[in-house]
Structure 1
Amino acid sequence: MEMSVKEPGSPASHATRDVVVGMLFVGLLFFILGFVTWLNGSLVPFLKIVCGLNNFQALWVTFAFYIAYTVMALPAAAVLRRTGYKNGMTIGLGVMGLGALLFIPAAQSTRYELFLAALFTLATGMTLMQTAINPYIVCIGPRDSAAMRISIMGLFNKGAGVIVPLIFASLMLADIDDFSHTALASLDAATRAALGRRLAFPYGCMAGLLFAIMVFIHFSSLRDIPPEGDEPGAAVRGAAVRGPDVLQFPQLVLGALALFAYVGVEVIAADTIGLYGHELSVANFGVLTSYTMVCMVLGYLVGVVAIPRWLSQQRALLLSALAGVLFTIGVVTGSTRADGISQALLGWAGIAPVPDSVMCLALLGLANAMVWPAIWPLALQGLGRHTASGSAVLIMAICGGAVLPLLYGHLSDLATPRAAYWLLLPCYLLIFWYAAHGHKLRSWR
């Protein structure tokens, strides 16, 4: 029994301390990523008003933001190979700070293309950050508990998503909720420009904070980790397959497709709920993203507690996909007036009720929460020295957040915002197939 005690200076205690310290630092970075990312849910309806846009045009916000992950993922992987994970995180924070600074001239001019350029620059820095911190969390500890560690990181990320819409709404939308659709549509150019200039100060503060954290991480004690070596047999498998090295792994390529679908539905659930609430004349539509984020936080808590003790990563993914199917049906068939679901779930907390259809859209956050944590370790399993490149491929799949919300916006303008949510159904079915079968494949033959 005495032999099992970890002495303060033992290798085991040092390893545990390194994991905890690493998770604290990376948790801070996940919070920052969440803070910046989930601003979009409130930014979309705000810029729709300021720039006089339809739904399709307004959702170019998500396109400009998430397409950067595809365009910049491979360059980010190249940077990481030269700099390592820690320096890559530092560079990513610097690029994010530059993107936040670009919001100042965009806000002063209220030119939509400048807002999109600023968002693309922000997301470029975030691409480098994501390419570094996701494999870092997977590799820093035991592989079978990787989804649990990513779930903890998700609490930081989505916790920021709960806070950000509330702050944004109080600063930017305080006197907008009271206006009708007709009144907002008839705002003159000077009033729209004045609304747009409100963005300059908060994004200037964000830039300063990002640069400060960049310096903090650079001089921190965060331990870098070396690239993974090959697992036994990996070289043999790789030699038997033609084509780019990283594309030899079906579990990775199919995992990237599942992530493409997942990020699309996650962004639709979080970033269009404000637009949908505005369509239904829901009060305080600017804070509805917080409803989705609260559901995601609850889902991550389930992941932290249940994985891997009671739920395997694969089973968590299956259940998440099934829940996504059920809640999607609830969005498109639930009432747009009655609020029984939110009264039952939130009434005890004194939170303002929302129509059932809107609440089902928010509950998609619960379905989505464990998808990202479960797909990453399943997709990277067995990649060995290809892990960094595999991570870049998975990061490229984040472009689902660019393509699918834009398609949703087009469909919502052609039909109705509610009917357009049928787009989510095939996405969840693809995720279900990957959980049930796709992640097990180890050869294309």
Structure 2
Amino acid sequence: MPVPTNTSARVAPASGGATQPYGRALALLASLFFMWGFITVINGTLLPHLRSVFELNYFQTTVIESVWFIAYGVMGMPSAFLIERIGYKKALIIGLTVMALGALGMIGAAELISYPVTLISLFVIASGITLLQVAANPYVAVIGPAESSESRLTLVQAFNSMGTFFAPYFGGYLILSRTTGGTSLAGTELTAAERIADAQATQLPYLLVAIVLAIIVFIIWRANLPQMGESTRKANREERKKLSLWSHKNLVYGIPAIFIYLIAEIGVANLFINFAILPEIGGITPADAAKYLTMMWGGMMVGRFAGSYLMSRFSPSRVLACFALFAMVVMIGAATLQGQLALWCLILVGLGHSIMFPAIFALGIKGLGPLTEEGSGLLITAIAGGALVAIQGLLADAYGLQTSFWLTVACEVYVLWYALYGSKPTNALPEGNLAAQGADETLA
């Protein structure tokens, strides 16, 4: 069946053939990026809440986040193999369904006031997001012209940042502002009854999340998405047998770049509220700190929209280098300064981090050709680097929370090196897009 043509945005084939639409599919994918960004940051808002409910230290708090990112390490490559067998659309539906089941599990965990059920539910949600990441990121990269893949992926990642921008408002209002722990200053002791009430405050937010995910599943199930046909996938499977991922240095160095970048992003996001409420930094309540966290995610959103434009005009690797240098400078400020200056340095790092994931991802799969799915799976598996945020928790317990941000500075240095040297493609295979490679079926 031909791909429907009722949209103005079109793909220009790599060589001959009719053009194919991708604008509507890109808009639908942008909604997925929004949702998983939203849910990931809701999880970050939940950490200080759970720290209060379960009376955790910094290391125990960051272990919760580690469980979330372990799912990426466990499910990354299985997700890539599943996509090869069932295609992009079915993978998106399965991923969203798994996320909805995990959100319902969080409702049960709140009712039972169970720490183990909370960890299991977060792992399930993260497993669904992993499948979406492996499917959606390379799909966006190859759905249109190869020369604009970095710009296109950064653009839809901007909608991911839009989700992260609104999530602290949502979490701050529906979780932190409705709990005793969320409206008390650091060090306040909660009674057993207050901890029970605080734990159950997460039920309404996760019910709303589950409902929205179910609606998106229905929309995607009914949608027509362009996809490589079965014959093309079979041909690619045969060609893969003759090729090696490890001959592509941009991928080989890109995997640790994603891994290391996630340590930086997750460390900042998950310890932001704890940092802001320190008497020598902000001296504010967790609910008020969530508003400042919103500014950091807002900077990431603005940076991605701006980065998408900049990468359409300048070398993506050079743009990435500039953003990495900026992030390194402001993180040095966050690790050394005091009061509002330190807090604003941590807020501004959102701008520096904004384009890192989409730029590294697009540069990492550049020139992989039929190896794109496997390369994508490895890059998404590298998101498990976020699990090592527990190391920053150990550093914070041992040397102080502010000192622990020197780990983030070191992460920015590697990303800067990757942008300048490690991202150059080697043994590049012919580039193309879904339309040019044979979108001979429409999944309706």
TM-score w.r.t. the length of structure 1 is 0.86
Gaps of 5+ in 1: 1-6, 337-354
For 1:366, the equivalent position in structure 2 comes to: 351
> How far did residue 262 of structure 1 move?
1.1
Corresponding position of 2:67: 64
**RMSD, aligned CA:** 2.6
Q: Structure 2 vs 1, CA of residues 248 and 191 (structure 1 numbering), >3 Å: closer, same or farther?
A: same
The residue identity in structure 2 corresponding to 1:429 is V
Seen in structure 2, the aligned counterparts of structure 1 residues 97 and 180 have a Cα distance that, compared at 3 Å, is same
Structure 2 Cα separation of the partners of residues 138 and 279 of structure 1: 42
Equivalent AA in structure 2 for residue 306 of structure 1: L
Gaps of 5+ in 2: 1-6, 428-444
- Counterpart of 1:282, as a letter, is I
Q: Distance in 1 between matches of 2:305 and 2:107?
A: 37
1:377 aligns with 2:362: yes
CA distance in 2, matches of 1:319, 1:256: 20
- Looking at structure 2, the residues matched to 437 and 419 of structure 1 have their Cα atoms a distance apart, in angstroms, of 29
Take 2:10 and 2:152, find their aligned partners in 1: how far apart are those partners? 23
Matched, 1:291 2:295: yes
- Displacement of 1:205: 2.3
The alpha carbon displacement at 1:224 in A equals 2.1
Alignment of 1:221-300 (within 5 A): 221-226=224-229, 245-280=244-279, 281-283=283-285, 284-300=288-304
2:197 paired residue among 194, 197, 203: 194
**Corresponding residue for residue 430 of structure 1:** 414
CA deviation vs aligned residue, 1:373-400 (integer Å, no higher than 9, x gap): 2112211122111100000000011011
- Residue aligning to 1:421: 405
1-side partners of 2:19 and 2:109: how far apart?
A: 46
What is the one-letter code of the residue matched to 1:137? V
**Mapping of 1:29-44 within 5 angstroms?**
29-44=32-47
**Does structure 2 conserve the Cα–Cα contact (< 8 Å) formed by 1:47 and 1:58?**
yes
Instruction: Give the deviation of 1:165 after TM superposition.
Output: 0.7
Range with greater deviation from structure 2 (432-441 or 151-160): 432-441
Distance 1:423 1:10 in 2: 44
Q: How does 1:38-437 map to 2 (within 5 A)?
A: 38-174=41-177, 176=180, 177-183=182-188, 186-226=189-229, 245-280=244-279, 281-283=283-285, 284-309=288-313, 311-336=314-339, 355-403=340-388, 405-437=389-421
| Counterpart in the other structure of 1:345 | none
Q: Could you tell me how far 1:61 is from its partner in structure 2?
A: 2.5
C-alpha deviation, 1:9, in angstroms: 12
What is the identity, as a one-letter code, of the residue corresponding to 1:160?
G
Seen in structure 2, the aligned counterparts of structure 1 residues 140 and 9 have a Cα distance that, compared at 3 Å, is closer
1:105-132, Cα deviation, whole Å (9 max, x unpaired):
2101222221111110000000100000
| 1:317 and 1:370 in contact (8 A); partners too | yes
Structure 1 counterpart SS, 2:226: coil
SS at structure 1 position matched to 2:224: coil
Kept in 1, the 8 Å contact 2:304–2:355? The answer is yes
Paired residues of 2:161 and 2:301 also in contact (CA < 8 A): yes
Q: Distance in 2 between matches of 1:261 and 1:372?
A: 11
Q: CA deviation at 1:439?
A: 1.7
Aligned-partner Cα distance in 1 for 2:298–2:155: 14
Tell me the distance in 2 between the aligned counterparts of 1:230 and 1:381. 20
Following TM superposition, by how much is the alpha carbon of 1:371 offset from its aligned partner in structure 2, in angstroms? 1.2
Pairs aligned (count): 408
- For the residue of structure 2 that corresponds to 1:181, the secondary structure is coil
> CA–CA distance in 2 between the matches of 1:153 and 1:228?
25
SS of residue in 2 equivalent to 1:223: strand
Q: Could you tell me which residue of structure 2 aligns to residue 341 of structure 1? A: none
The answer to whether the Cα contact below 8 Å between 1:331 and 1:357 also exists between their aligned partners in 2 is: yes
Report the Cα offset of residue 228 of structure 1. 7.8
Distance 2:414 2:11 in 1: 43
Identity level (%): 32
For the structure 1 residues 12 and 181, does the alpha-carbon distance in structure 2 shift closer, same or farther, using more than 3 Å as the test?
A: closer
Distance 1:440 1:8, change over 3 A: closer
Q: CA deviation at 1:8?
A: 7.9
Cα 1:97–1:418 change in 2 (3 A) is same
Please say which of residues 26-35 and 376-385 is displaced more in the overlay.
Answer: 376-385
CA distance in 2, matches of 1:291, 1:268: 17
Please say if residues 140 and 225 of structure 1, whose CA atoms lie closer than 8 Å, have aligned partners that are also in contact: no
Q: Distance in 1 between matches of 2:208 and 2:99?
A: 13
1:207-234 per-residue CA deviation (whole Å, 9 max, x = no partner) reads: 1221221121011122223568999xxx
